[in-house]
Structures are given as C-alpha cells and as structure tokens.
Amino acid sequence: MDRIIQISQLAITSPGKIVLLVMDGLGGLPHPETGKTELETARTPNLDKLAEEGICGLSEPLGAGLTPGSGPGHLGLFGYDPFAFTIGRGILEALGIDFPLEKGDIAARGNFCTIDGKGLITDRRAGRISSDVCTKLCEELSRISFQGVKALVAPVEGHRFLLVLRGTGLNPDLADSDPQQLGVPPKEVVALGREGEATAAVVNSWIAKAKGVLAGHHPANMVVLRGFARLPHLPSMGESYKLNPVAIAAYPMYRGLARLVGMKVVDCGRSVEEQFATLSKHYAEHDFIFLHIKKTDTAGEDGDFKRKVQAIEEVDAAMPQLVNLKPDVIAVTGDHSTPATMKAHSWHPVPFLLHSPLCRPDDVAEFSERACSKGALGRFPALDIMPLALAHAQKLTKYGA
C-alpha cells in the first residue's frame, strides 16, 4: 500500500505511451526431452529483437517460492501489493461479466457439476456444458426466492456461473462448498466467524433449492460455490499514476480486474489477431495499454507444451503491429509461470523485457527464461514493473530536491 502511495506522489502527466503485454502464465520449465522451456522452444524473432534492444530480467510475483493466483499476479503487475490488496474470486467473476454489483453484495463463483446417486461429485465441470446451457440453467436458478435476501444468478462461461446475494447484514466470511476433488459430496457452507452464520444458512438453503431445480438436468445436476467475497476498495490506476489506461483482455476475470483498478475495458475479439487490432484502434486515445493474452496459460494448465509454444509464436508474429506504433515503453511479461510439465501455476519467476529509447540495454539477445536470468534487471519483484514503465515513459518526477 505504501509503495503505490509513494509512486503516486511522484507521478506526472507526460505524452509517453506504455504498452504492458501480459502473456498469462508465460514462464515455464524445460521439456524433459529437449531441456528447453516453452519460451525457449518457441521461434520468437520479434520478441528476441526487443530483448536485444531492451533490458531484461526475471519478475517475481510474490517473492521466492510463492505461487500467485490470477488476481494477486495481476495486482502486482499493476503496482498494487498483492498482500495488501486482496480480491475474492467471486468479485473477480462478477466484474468480468459486467455484473452491476451494489455496495454490500456478496459474490461467489459457482460451477455446475455432476453428482451420482449417492450425491458424490463425479465431474467438477458437469461435462463442460456449453455457455448456452449454462445461461438457461442460470435463468432457472434465478427463480429461487427468499425473504429479505435476493439471490441473483448470472452465467459466466461454460460450466461457470456467478451467485450474488443482496440484502442487509450479509457477511462474506464463508468457506467454499467446492471440495475441489471427486468422489466426495459438496461441502456444507461454514461461516468462518460468528458474523457469517446467518449468511451461511442462507447459502446452504439456496444450495438445497438449487439441487432440487437441477435434479433433472444431468450432467449439470448440482452446483459448488467458492470464493465468497465483497467488493474491495482499490485506488484507481488513472489517479495513482496520472494515466488514462485501457485494458484489452478477452477473458472475463482479467477484464474485471482491470475495471477494478479503474481501467477502461474495451470490446475485443478472442483471437490474438483481433486483440492486436483492437490495440491499434484504441492506441491514440490512451497512454497506458494493458494487453492480456490468455491462451499461454490455458495451454500450460492443460499440460499442452506444444500449444503453449504455438501461442507464444502467435503473439510473436503479431508483435510488429505493436512495435510499429512505436510506444515509448513496451513491457512484456507474464503474471506468473504455468509450466506445461506442472499443469498448474507455479512460483518460478517470469521472463520480463522492457524496451524503450531510454532503457539501458544489457547483453540479453533472446527472450527466454535462461537469457532473462542473466539480464541487468536480475530477479526482481513484479511490483517494480509499474515504476520502471512509468519512469521510462517519463511519467515520474524526481524525488526530493
């Protein structure tokens, strides 16, 4: 918290433009056969050229050994200490679908799932039902009514939906009902403190009614909930950094996160090509552009090494479009590592490059984990990225006389 206040006191308006390109889950681990990571395997002539002209390092989202979720990973990139500012999963989901949250609302992320005759979970994603089916089921669930509390249900994508409870005296300190494993029943929702007991009772009652509604809708015949949360207060990026920021992100959570820190969020297609085209379209109006590419992470989570390599190559191929705009600062990194060999987020630091006419280039001539580990920025906290970007765009004034 202190850090962003310090930076905000030095922030000034300047014509400099910053593009922060985040390839989600960019960092990787060596393929057992080749000894090369996804990024080391990918052919990336454009990123390599930026690395050669720029300065590189390895960014550490939370510090040694700690693995971030998507929320903390991005907050750090935006300069908000992820330990000082926390955002519940439910809130992120709500923001990502433009759900009009009101003060005091409690939001949770829901999954449709499949249970067997004994009530045990057999598929945590209900056979990955389509978004259309999800929308229809959410309409049915929206009819569940209570006295005093509104239970709003909105589809997110595939098997995922949002539950929002609206009423007085609700408390978000509740444990998940999602056991995150198969062969067990969904858990009762338990309050983490006395103040949450009434809310837990409402949620459990809603779940029981939802089970009834869904009984005939196999494979989506049950729900699990997690990440109960209330809207946090975060200072706006625009005010903190005296920027006019815009987010180009296709995936709901990242759009929500960008909105939470006060970025304008514009429509963009799903493909890398469409996202880069959207960047060109909005480039003139903004001095900070956050471009979020999801497919690197998805491929990593799926354990698909080759697809992650392809996703990186696809981004590299689109880079000339960005480079030709000649931003004062291009920063390229990830919010965390997602090695395909681990099929999960990991703690490994993330390759980072900063390209700017004002940077002091190092000897790194290739954008990769190994090369970046020898970069002049060394291994550094992700929280340094915003001050570095702002400085190179001449948006930070001198500290002290």
Is 96 a residue that touches its own copies (CB under 8 A)?
Answer: no
Strands 18-23 and 329-333: parallel
Is 6 a residue that touches its own copies (CB under 8 A)?
Answer: yes
Is 63 a residue that touches its own copies (CB under 8 A)?
Answer: yes
Local structure of 193: helix, strand or coil = coil
Q: Which uninterrupted H or E stretch holds 290? A: strand 288-293
Local structure of 7: helix, strand or coil = helix
Q: In whole angstroms, how close is the CB of 132 to its own copies at the nearest point?
A: 26
Please identify which residue in 15, 33, 65, 147 interacts with its own copies, judged by CB under 8 A. Answer: 65
- Residue 151, strand partner residues: 165
Is 388 a residue that touches its own copies (CB under 8 A)?
Answer: yes
Is 351 a residue that touches its own copies (CB under 8 A)?
Answer: no
Residue 20, both tokens: 């922060």
Local structure of 353: helix, strand or coil = strand
Strands 329-333 and 350-355: antiparallel
Please identify which residue in 110, 155, 196, 227 interacts with its own copies, judged by CB under 8 A. Answer: 227
Please identify which residue in 8, 14, 67, 244 interacts with its own copies, judged by CB under 8 A. Answer: 67
In this chain, which stretch among 65-73, 117-125, 200-208, 240-248 interacts with its own copies, using CB under 8 A?
Answer: 65-73
The verdict on whether omega for the bond into residue 219 sits within 30 degrees of 0, i.e. cis, is: yes
- Residue 363, strand partner residues: none
Nearest residue (CB) to its own copies, 210 versus 364: 364
Q: In whole angstroms, how close is the CB of 189 to its own copies at the nearest point?
A: 17
Residue 389, both tokens: 């970007």
Nearest residue (CB) to its own copies, 147 versus 181: 181
Is 10 a residue that touches its own copies (CB under 8 A)?
Answer: yes
In this chain, which stretch among 98-106, 140-148, 233-241, 357-365 interacts with its own copies, using CB under 8 A?
Answer: 357-365
Nearest residue (CB) to its own copies, 19 versus 133: 19
In this chain, which stretch among 42-50, 131-139, 292-300, 367-375 interacts with its own copies, using CB under 8 A?
Answer: 367-375
CA–CA gap between residue 70 and residue 30 (Å, rounded): 23
∠159-163-164 over CA atoms, to 5°? Answer: 155
Angular region, 13: left φ>0, alpha ψ -120 to 50, beta rest: beta
CA–CA gap between residue 125 and residue 323 (Å, rounded): 40
Nearest residue (CB) to its own copies, 223 versus 319: 223
Q: Which residues bind its own copies (CB under 8 A)?
A: 6-7, 10, 29-30, 35, 37, 58, 62-72, 82-83, 86-89, 92, 109, 227, 342, 345-348, 358, 360-363, 369-370, 373-374, 376-380, 384, 386-392, 396-401
